[in-house]
Amino acid sequence: MYGTLGVLGYLLNGMGAVLGPLQRELNVDRAAVAFYPSLFACALLIIGVVGHRVTIRLGHRVSLWVALCGLATGAVLLTTQARALTLFGAALLGLAGALVVQVVPAALNVRQPQNAAAAVAEANAISSYASVLAPVAVATAVLVGVGWRVGYLLPVLPVAIAMLFGVRRLADREQPGPTDAPRTGLGLEPGPLLGRWTALLLAVSVEFCLVFWSADAFSEWHRVGAAVAPALAALFLLGMAMTRTAAARVTAGRHPLGIVVVACGVAIVGFAVFWAAPVTVLAAVGLLLTGLGISLLYPMTLTRAVAAWPHAPDRAAGRAALASGLAIGIAPLALARLADHVGLRAAFLIVPVLLVVLGGQAALALSGGRRPRSL
């Protein structure tokens, strides 16, 4: 499951790295190329509604087989010369990736009920490290003159290897019922889903605004080359991976909402440095710090959302996928459209606004303004 999420991380964040070159090839504005990740978001919406029925019927192992096949095929189609095929490839990537997002959190919550937050964070650490490789591979391919498509196709062979050696090793067991896997971890008690769903929506919105447009920010604000910009943008993903790797130690004994409050504070400081830095090096340090802060927002909010319904973790994971789809489809596109009118620097102020709302929501719950169970 960790490896499958890593493959998805490479392909999804690699898409973010190629938006700039794709925009220049097609000679369109930012909003037009933002449609590609929006296809992924639409797929998340679809899976969020019906995905739990698929995974319950097929089981987690078969669902991962189907997802890996879809990821490999979609990646190949995305790199063809025909725009219609590239759009279909993006949509297929979205459907397969959405299935991964549906299966992995639910399966980890079932198999690791006492350590669900750490398990989800560790899985996302693997995804983040794989994500770091994507912009580096794209940048290297551009630098040596073979084109971004070669760099983006590098994960196709690992997908095949994962299919042959990774997925088949998963035990094909019946999923335990709610009485077999109680959620008793700190902050992971059952409760209403809406507040937790909203927190997840905000967390994913922040993350993907930076995933998709930080490379463009370096190009526009600091005039770095087409090969350097995605490499610098990878520092955000590196920061996320570093913290997620230590998730078990960082989260042990701490309430997820408290972690969210601190993480939002760190991310706001890092973003301020990234946004206002007059030199490239300082901006890169700020982006790395932003990644360190944002890293645990998704695992904490996702785990709490899935834990809200211990009697139906696959359904809860489907609703979580729905939140992710809305976030990925709306936030980066809104930033792109705003940037076309007021400039990228002003548009990027969406990020601290979202962080303040998310951190304030969690702080209010912890301070007694609302009971934590309602979030």
- Computed on alpha carbons and rounded to an integer, the radius of gyration of the chain in Å comes to 19
- Six-digit token pair at 74? 């979609």
pLDDT per position as a tens digit, 71-80: 888 888 877 7
Dist CA 226 CA 232 (whole Å): 11
Dist CA 326 CA 44 (whole Å): 8
- Enumerate residues 6+ apart whose C-beta is below 8 A from 215: 16, 17, 19, 20, 135, 229, 230, 232, 233
Helices (H), 82-189: 83-111, 116-144, 148-153, 156-161
pLDDT per position as a tens digit, 186-230: 667 777 888 899 999 999 999 989 988 898 899 889 988 777 887
Under CATH, which architecture does the 2-374 domain have?
Up-down Bundle (1.20)
Give pLDDT, residue 183: 42
Q: Is a pLDDT exceeding 90 seen at residue 59?
A: no
Say if residues 310 and 190 touch (Cβ distance below 8 Å): yes
Where in the chain are the domains? 2-374
Dist CA 238 CA 289 (whole Å): 10
pLDDT per position as a tens digit, 109-124: 777 767 777 778 778 7
Q: Is a pLDDT exceeding 50 seen at residue 291?
A: yes
pTM of the model: 0.74
Average pLDDT over residues 246-257: 80
